[in-house]
Structure 1
Amino acid sequence: MITFTDVENNEYQAQCEIEKTDAVNGEKSLSGTIYFGQDVKANIAKGWTLSFLNEEYVVVTYTKNDKENTVAFSAVQAFFYKMSKTGFYEKWNGSHPLASYLDALFAGTGYTYDNTASVAAFEKQDWGMSDRLSLFNDIIDQANVEFSVEGTVVHVVPAMGSDLSTIVRKKFNLDTAEIQTDNTSFATYGRGYGAYSKPNDTTSKRLEVEYKSPLYDYYYPKFGAIEAIPVADERYTIADNLLTAVKEKVDKSWAISLTLNLVDLQSVGYKYAMAKPGDYITVIDENLNFSDKVRIIKVTSDYDIRGTRTKTEVECGSLSFAEQQKTTQTTLSNVASGKAQIPNEWLTSQVQIATDNLLSARTELKFTDQGIIAIDKLDANKVVIFNSAGVGISTDGGKTFKSAITADGIVAERIFGNLISGVGFKTESKSGYALTLTSGTLRVIKNDREFGSLTATVNSNTGIPNGFAIWNQLGSNFSIDQVGTNGMSLPIFKIPETSTPDNRQYYLYGSLMSPLISKQPGGMWIYNDEKLSVSADGGQNAQFSVKQDKVQVWGDFYVYNGSKNAAQVTRDGVRATPAYELAENYVGDIGESKTGEDKTVRVDIDPLVFDLINTDKPYQVFLTAYSDARFWVSERGKDYFIVSSDSPDSAFGWELKGKRRGFEDQRLVDTKDTYKDLEKMEGLIPNGNQNIQSNS
């Protein structure tokens, strides 16, 4: 994931393909394509920044592609952007040390510098009144130094990089090599003018040198002396030093860059994980007749949406003139001009096999207005046509060409190969649904609308790949289905179109065939906003229900190896009050009363309690005296009982216990559970049957 930041410093996440460029004394820049991250794609604007490989970049351009639902952007390292947007409103003249120029440019910018280059003071005329980046580049060029940026510190050095012993060799650890030339500034002759013999007299004789390159005589008959711009610098007082400067200017006038695609530069001793601009390496490529030390001047790296570097291209420059000359006579030039055959090692085994098959074919060629037509002598239905429109292959005598190569693309009914690679693949149905595979991401699309995708994921903090994810776009369903015998499918798991990042939803259908286990720290939550029910009869009825203010149980309720408690708040914390247990199923009621003048009183059973107990069965009444008298139950009626005392007006308390209706005959009911059943209940009887008491 790449972190983008808007003008108000709000952060957003997106997945992008990135191309990163680093160069000697050049801007660090990015170009990329955003594939995932709706907030970024919809809202990216001026002033946005992003963080990539611990460096801050400023977005300078962006292009939205509605068809592919992507955004292409370019960005530069923050230092170059901020310095180019900050003016220097002074004008300097005369000679000043390098540090004075740097102090003035960096003042108030938030950036500091570290200078390890020894540079004599130099003169500037009308220097200033421009942006700070342009002025900075100007003094860097004149001081003949280089720089790099790390965070908010700019390191000014005599030269970047190191002279390494690393050797890169074709077919050993070099994948491809390409040499480009530019002769627009080509010269064979140069002059240099140094200090005056009398420093304060510009009419006095001046130190002067001239240089002719080894190719001077070769080009002179046709062009004469091809002259370079003179080197004019009064600081040169020694002829050899001035001649060296002129020689370097002439010999490097033919610009050449060597581009390398490295398989693994580090595996042959390169001590850095990434190629560093400024480093010197030795490159050997017999195919190009090239073998010498070159300098890395630019590094371009590609990163996929997982943050994995997929390609690193290294551009080298500063080649000597002798290297340039012999490069023009390479094997590559001879092959291009037809003077030499392609070396066998340039061909893969598959190409060689195809070549052998083509050469062994027995074919009749016809040159017609339609182009060159090849007809198999043994089967006239096999026809190949070649013309300016392309190549076509027919198996029906030329009526149709089901395999063809034209400017519009390649058409084929079947393609065979161990590996088919490319930027993107697409399959499309007649109903309009399409699957596209681009940059390692599989997308489901219909009529330019994307429904979901399968892609790799990375750690948002480290950028390291850590897995893959299946995404459904907002407003679309995602389901895993089971196909029935009638060909129709029903979902087993479904994310509905109403699901959003703030209100994630899913449906889980069917039966769970494995234990439901959670290792979540702190416990496991199962919750609902209104009611939670548990069924053990296939969903026909609920045996257990939780509401906001109550818990309900239908059927018998058993507690193994424990007690049924009510939690009560006391002055010394919350205490458990166990339920009273009986061998039979009773319902009770408690009350108080008082006998009258006739020493008796009738106590009516509460009608609701009467509904709960069966008074046809004997019920029990327990009495407690609250007066100096003796009490007894003199009569037990169906819905009442009478209490008598030996003294009038005597108070007492009573407790009624009657058998619950429907459960009158239950006594110590057998649960049908065995000891082995209990052993399966984790934690109930770990050390034996301690809940069983012996009568022996």
Structure 2
Amino acid sequence: MITFTDVENNEYQAQCEIEKTDAVNGEKSLSGTIYFGQDVKANIAKGWTLFFLNEEYVVVTYTKNDKENTVAFSAVQAFFYKMSKTGLYETWNGSHPFSTYLDALFADTGYTYDNTASVAAFEKQDWGMSDRLSLFNDIIDQASVEFSVEGTVVHIVPAMGSDLSTIVRKKFNLDTAEIQTDNTSFATYGRGYGAYSNPDDTTSQRLEVEYKSPLYDYYYPKFGAIEAVPVADERYTIADNLLAAVKDKVDKGWAISLTLNLVDLQSVGYKYAMANPGDYITVIDENLNFSDKVRIIKVTSDYDIRGKRTKTEVECGSLSFSEQQKTSQSTLSNVAAGKIPVPNEWLTSQVQLATNSLLAARTQINFTDQGIIAVDKSDSNKVVILNSAGIGVSTDGGQTFKSAITADGVVAERIFGSLISGVAFKTESKSGFSLTLSSGTLRVKKDDLEFGSLTATTDGATGEPNGFAIWNQQGSIFSINQGSSTGGSLPVFQLPATATAENRQYNLYGSLMSPLVSKQPGGMWIYHDSKFNVSADGGNNAQFQVTVGKTSVWGDFYVYNGSKNAAQVTRDGIRATPAYELAENYVGDIGEGKTGEDKTVRVDIDPLVFDLINTDKPYQVFLTAYSDANFWVSERGKDYFIVSSDSPDSAFCWELKGKRRGFEDQRLVDTKDTYEDLEKMEGLIPNGDQNIQSNS
């Protein structure tokens, strides 16, 4: 009996014949005919689901046959359906890490993922604004990974399946075989063309690579270079990525497809279970002169109304990866995924998966000289061995034990748990770079050279821990980096290799995005040995500069709600002498003079003062008598003025004020600042009380 569920989660039972399809990269679909179950046949509609072999499927099509009183339907695994019915409403361009694409695709879908494949960042153009499954399909070719779906977790690996010792042979367990080859796309040489050195100039130099396959020299004497269609894509900016695309196109241009009808030998005690998609098996058919190891791409099984498997068809082949992984849109395509941090709910699903697997297993126990051997009755590739050497778990019939516990330690491809506790942990790259976590300290090393560590700090007096520190060894670099669009990264904060404890140094490459605030007792210091500059135009020019004994300002200088003062030392302390303010921009000069016998005198304007003021505009001369006479200005010239008196040989003082060159028309200039702007300037207007005289 099969359980169907309607949109209100009401359950109904039915008996069906079902054809189930499993393929590499997770494709799972059903097609079936419902014979018994009147409620289902009468009411089946959009949004109905069913469970088959402990997996949920969504009904996508159904056809009612009144003559035979049956209903034919097709269904896809829930993951594919749900991903196809949710969209990503963003558009992305440029290069991003694989995990970044997948973070966006998996967000808020109810699905998480686990990745053990390494995928370099790659570029996309106008990626997005579509359903998530289509976008998933779009990146599988570039990622070249495979996956399986278990519940709400998608597992990503470099390649699915195992290399089995299963041999399928004509007249033994092989009924029929059909081999099809296609060499229309066969090639031994390829070229790739990527981005231009100047993206706006298509005549500039272009990224270019070429590739020769291992078969190049063999076929060259007869055919020369057998060339593939060039890869021409300006989105490629990294030579290695472009070369990989060319290599993939050349090496996978020769297609082989093998379709087999296998006799299910489980019922007669055959050692190995039916292989799964992704597994490699050896096929021998003397009639076709074929003997080779092939990979299972798709398994199609028929089940009768009692749930018994009656027929299995296996499709094997070595088609190009991008083509072999894709299935038709009618089965909602295939998927690839990438790395994310493991969330708590993911661990919960792993515990549930392990629990379900253990409780659902039906096991045959054998007692042998090798120890106790447990074999899964439904899949004899799953074997557990227990003996004096330890415990081993195998998925390839006992050929290898990738998960094991022995006296030498624990071997496992994955370890899941809420807490992993121990004395030391170490991870190491192929280049010898390693991270070691021991005694509460994380050390970064390359072979025997230690770069630095993350460790606790202690109180110098008591020795008690009081915090933690990240420190680098002298001669090494410590850097906090920001990832770039090309897949690399650039430093934002860095301790250079030249830094020492006696000469502490750091480099800041990023931009400050928050206020610069200091609580240092005694005030905040910003200093340099010779010159300190402040710029507000991106560092092109300084608007404020401090050197020894001098402060310079370029541009206008404003003082809000205060005065410009010179501090002078007096007998009663240091006193402020405010600057004289005018409504317009004037430059002045002061001097003394004396009229002659003719009661006049010419006063020449100092040439330097003349350079500062514009005498084409009216300037003012103020006179003060130092003798018993009357004085007036009888003439104002461009670079002089004449003072007259009513008595000869009379002394006086003069003050000249002229408009500053370049600022002749300025008068009470509007700063464009508002009261609201001033309120944002901390301390300028305490409590909102403007110290400004106004008529309003």
With normalisation by structure 2, the TM-score equals 0.45
Higher relative contact order (CA 8 A, sep 6+): 2
With normalisation by structure 1, the TM-score equals 0.45
